Structure 1
Amino acid sequence: MSEADRPHVSQEPRLRTRDRNRPRARLPIHVLVALPLALAGLISLLVTGNALRPFDRITTIEARMASKSDYFKDPEVRRLLLQHGLRVDIHRLGSRGIATQSLKGMDAVFPSGQPAAKQILDRQDHSVRSVRPFVTPLVLGTFRAYAETLEKMRVATAQPTPGGGKTLYYNLDMHKFIGLLDGKTGVDQDMGDQDGDETEERADTWNAIGFDRRGGRSNSGRVLVRTSSVCESNSAGTYLSILAFVKNEDSTPGAGQTDKTKAMKEAREVAGKIKPLIDLQGMWADEQADSYLSALGESIAPISLIYEHQYLAHQIEYRQKHGSQDTDRVLLYPSPYALTEPQLISLSDKGDRLVDVIENDPRLRQRAIELGFRVRFSGEDGTSDQLNAYLGEHGIQVPTPNRDETKVYEPDLDVLQEIINSVGSCPPPVLDAP
């Protein structure tokens, strides 16, 4: 029989099984290493309640803020807010700019002081939620050689340091300091030229008050305070309130005046006295803290108007990086003094959520202390105990209260507006509906 004629026989299919003697396939070593880490991460998410966090809906809050936006830009604050499902999109603007410009599309605003906050609240056609989480004094940031020059002229007084060493803080007598800003020629005999040298320079230049006799340095520039725009900035407006208080014989302009016409006349008269003290700085500057704390800060301006928390936050960060304090930069605490009270104001339901979180989360209050703020507790105006304790624990000199406790209260809003507009020649505001 030929091969072609043979019948074809099909073999039954065979089920292939694993050879028991063949070694098992093993997981790659990098997978084995990663498994415990992945398991630990999962357990951590389950314990903290964040296992479903990637699936949570994050609410974005549109907010217009002034200098206190520093707080909401802090990475730890942003992390804590995300745990509440909130993210804040910051639109930066000066406090008075916030108060006088459109608020359409905003969920919250955070002006740095009460005058701007009152303007914003007055524009609302319904009650809104708000919170004042902390306070911070207005201060003048300068550099050691300039502070020591003012000390020699008996305009500033160094605060004592525990155990000696270089102080970070000076108390500034604003009555005497204004005498250096007023443009009069000659050295004030009451303040005293300690070296007895005659000088033909103007009394309001740094060299005229002895700066060039300290270490061979020289500065023929005027003694002045660099501020941001008085038309937009809460800090500049508050500084005007201090100058106005001093120039008005330690009295708030317009206070107790029932006749509005007379109050406005008094405001214009005071504005005329303080305008020469600040308008020689030239073009208005932006927020001062960034310039003052930069590497070129001393070349930009000898004295800058800032908030205390900005300086303290710098010292805390500097200590963490360098293991020591920044003793080149120092603060001048003006006397009389002024506190600023930032106010977070809600303009929508989403803004209400942010106000509620800021008001009730103790971790956010603690973080504010770590950023140099004097946090409000239990409805008090403000407290320094927690801040002082934190500074001491981190090797930062604690500022001591001045014995002169005279506080400047800002004038009524209409009077303050008149002073600001007169000094700054501010354009009229253009307001939209709230």
Structure 2
Amino acid sequence: MSHSARAAIEEPRLSTRQVRRRRAPRHVVVALPIALAGLIALLISGNTLRPFERIITLEARMASKSDFFKDPEVRRLLLGHGIRVDIRRLGSRGIATQSLTGTDVVFPSGQPAAKIILDRQDRSVRSVRPFVTPLVLGTFRDYADTLVKARVATPQRAPGGGPTLYYDLDMPAFMGLLDGTHAGRGTADQDGDGHAEGADTWNGIGFDTRGRSNSGRVLVRTSNVCESNAAGTYLSLLAFVANRNTTPGTEHVNDPRLAQDAVTDLAARIKPLISLQGMWADEQADSYLSDLGESIAPISLIYEHQYLAHQIAHHDRTGRQDTDRVLLYPTPYALTEPQLISLTDRGDRLVQLMQEDEELRERAIELGFRVRFSGEDGTSERLNAYLGDHGIQVPAANPDQSKSYEPGLEVLERIIDYVGTCPPPVQDTP
């Protein structure tokens, strides 16, 4: 082949292949701004490493106020702070008189049990009283209206003239039904013992005129006075009224023997008001609010917050109030102050949160508690506003503001031991 022919043939050229860059899937592109916004929010809030933080579990013993810490929203808020609370439920006095070894926090429902617990500590402890709640009697409308007919209860006025949820209860008159000396309708003293046959039964005070019948005694179903703050507070209320609205133990202060005899005599007089109906575990609200509540007991000793929480949940679920269940507010009234007490450094974190966290306090209102807010005089305004906003009748303040004052701890313990024949306290193991 000639040189000119070879020149006519072009030399082979190398060509490069164009590689198409893969695009991210459309759903990933859409999600990127959302993920970026979430990351920015975590950075701003300081929670970037929250999933990697250590969750501490606090061992706790609590009475009825364990309802607050068992609430799913409260549990969620606490987990956000790295805290989980493992609760052993026990009556307040049971907490105070049993061993607390291995316990981080306790939450007795009232001050007598709290004082026993604080007196047992050999370290400086942190504590907080985040809310207050009145002691009340939960009953049902027909029974409350029977008490109105017997002139021992007065209905509070409901907005719009509808059925009321609340009644004021005259405790001295009510105790006249409990003590076995009230002469009921159509009764007579047939055995000469000073007690009328059939007295103090529901039918004896007119319940059967409502088309129903209950020949049982007028009694209050309480929790065990040896274990429960509610029962101990109710016992204090009975003692205060029986002592002519005077705190037991404040008489005969210059004569210890006479003072002790007076307390023993008072305990003997009020014991039948408790022991006749028996003493039960600290689950009165659960029984009262159950479907079988009325068949279990016509009247049960509970806390106001338990009833209000039920009404809020019932209204959220059905759009109306539960008008079958009603409250009796005793006069004189008894107010309880639960106290969260830390027993360890780990428990101090929970106490601090209860003091400072606004979300936890707001949730307490939603659960029916009268919450203490720093710098505010009242504890009821926010709760009343919340009830009104959620279609729940707001309980009216009783015009009679007589308050029952608990006796000193030594006197109260003597009355409780006399009425309940309580076992001795358990000592902490070293």
For 1:64, which of 58, 61, 66 is the aligned residue?
Answer: 61
Q: Does 1:226 align with 2:221?
A: yes
**Using the alignment, how far apart are the partners of 1:135 and 1:328 within structure 2?**
26
Structure 1 residues 66, 16: CA separation in 2 closer, same or farther (over 3 Å shift)?
farther
What's the counterpart of residue 7 of structure 1?
A: none
The aligned amino acid for 1:208 is: G
- The reply on whether 1:329 has 2:286 as its aligned counterpart is no
1:146 equivalent to 2:148? Answer no
Distance 1:382 1:119 in 2: 28
> How far is 1:198 from its partner?
6.3
How far, CA to CA, are the matches of 1:88 and 1:57 in structure 2? 14
What amino acid is aligned across from residue 49 of structure 2 in structure 1?
Answer: L
Residue 212 of structure 2: aligned partner: 217
- Mapped contact 2:187–2:197 kept (Cα < 8 A): no
Q: Compute the displacement of 1:201 (Å).
A: 5.5
Spell out, residue by residue over 1:155-193, the C-alpha distance to the aligned partner (whole angstroms, 9 max, x if none): 100011122100000000011111111123632xxxxx5
Instruction: Give 1:383 deviation, angstroms.
Output: 1.5
Distance 2:258 2:212 in 1: 49
Once residues 341 and 17 of structure 2 are traced to their aligned partners in structure 1, the CA distance between those partners, rounded to angstroms, is: 72
Q: What amino acid maps onto 1:94 in structure 2?
A: G
After the TM superposition, which residues 299-378 of structure 1 pair with which residues of structure 2 at under 5 Å, given as runs?
Answer: 299-378=295-374
Query: Does the residue aligned with 1:163 lie in a helix, a strand or coil?
Result: helix
Of 151, 154, 160, the match for 1:163: 160
The answer to whether the Cα contact below 8 Å between 1:184 and 1:204 also exists between their aligned partners in 2 is: yes
Q: Is the 8 A contact 1:375 1:383 kept in 2?
A: yes
Q: Distance in 1 between matches of 2:15 and 2:332?
A: 96
Q: Given the superposition, is the C-alpha separation of residues 363 and 201 from structure 1 closer, same or farther in structure 2, using an over 3 Å criterion?
A: same
Q: Does 1:121 align with 2:95?
A: no
Structure 2 CA distance for aligned equivalents of residues 220 and 285 of structure 1: 25
Contact 1:201 1:208 in 2 (8 A): no
- Partner of 1:235, secondary structure, is helix
Q: Distance in 2 between matches of 1:41 and 1:399?
A: 44
CA distance in structure 1 between the aligned counterparts of 2:383 and 2:121, rounded to whole angstroms? 35
The answer to whether structure 1 residue 85 and structure 2 residue 82 are counterparts is yes
Judge conservation of contact 1:134–1:382 (CA < 8 Å) in 2. no
Which residue does the alignment assign to 1:205?
Answer: 201
* Most deviating of 258-267 and 398-407: 258-267
TM-score by length of 2: 0.89
Deviation at 1:127, TM superposition (A): 2.3
| Partner residue of 2:396 out of 390, 396, 400 | 400
Deviation by residue 1:102-131 (Cα, 9 ceiling, x = unmatched)? 111111111000000000111112321111
Residues 149, 51 of structure 1: alpha-carbon distance in 2 compared, 3 angstrom cutoff:
same
Gap runs ≥5 in structure 1: 1-13, 188-192
Identity %: 73
Alpha-carbon distance between aligned partners in 2 of 1:15 and 1:181, rounded to the nearest angstrom: 107
Unaligned regions of 5+ residues in structure 2, if any? 1-13, 189-195
Q: Is the 8 A contact 1:185 1:202 kept in 2?
A: no
Cα contact 2:168–2:329 (8 A) shared by 1: yes
Q: Which moved more, 1:368-377 or 1:253-262?
A: 253-262
Q: How does 1:270-289 map to 2 (within 5 A)?
A: 270-289=266-285
1:124 maps to a residue whose letter is Q
- Report how many residues are paired: 409
Conserved? CA contact 2:226–2:416, under 8 Å: yes
The residue number in structure 2 matching 1:190 is none
Distance 2:396 2:359 in 1: 26
Structure-2 residue corresponding to 1:3: none
Task: Give, in whole Å, the separation in 1 of the partners of 2:37 and 2:294.
Answer: 50
* 2:218 partner amino acid: V
Q: Answer whether contact 2:168 2:328 (CA < 8 A) is retained.
A: yes
Q: How well do the aligned residues superpose, as a CA RMSD in angstroms?
A: 2.3
Matched residue SS, 2:161: coil
Contact 1:135 1:382 in 2 (8 A): no
Map of 2:9 onto structure 1: none
Q: In the TM superposition, what are the counterparts of 1:377-388 in structure 2 within 5 Å?
A: 377-378=373-374, 383-388=379-384
Aligned to 1:251: 246
Distance in 2 between residues matched to 1:293 and 1:105, nearest whole Å: 33
Q: Which residue of 2 aligns with 1:292?
A: 288
How far apart, CA to CA, are the structure 2 residues paired with 1:150 and 1:226? 16
1:310 to 1:63, Cα distance in 2 relative to 1, 3 A:
same
Give the Cα–Cα distance (whole angstroms) in 1 for the partners of residues 64 and 16 of structure 2: 75
| Counterpart in the other structure of 1:179 | 176
TM-score after normalising by structure 1: 0.88
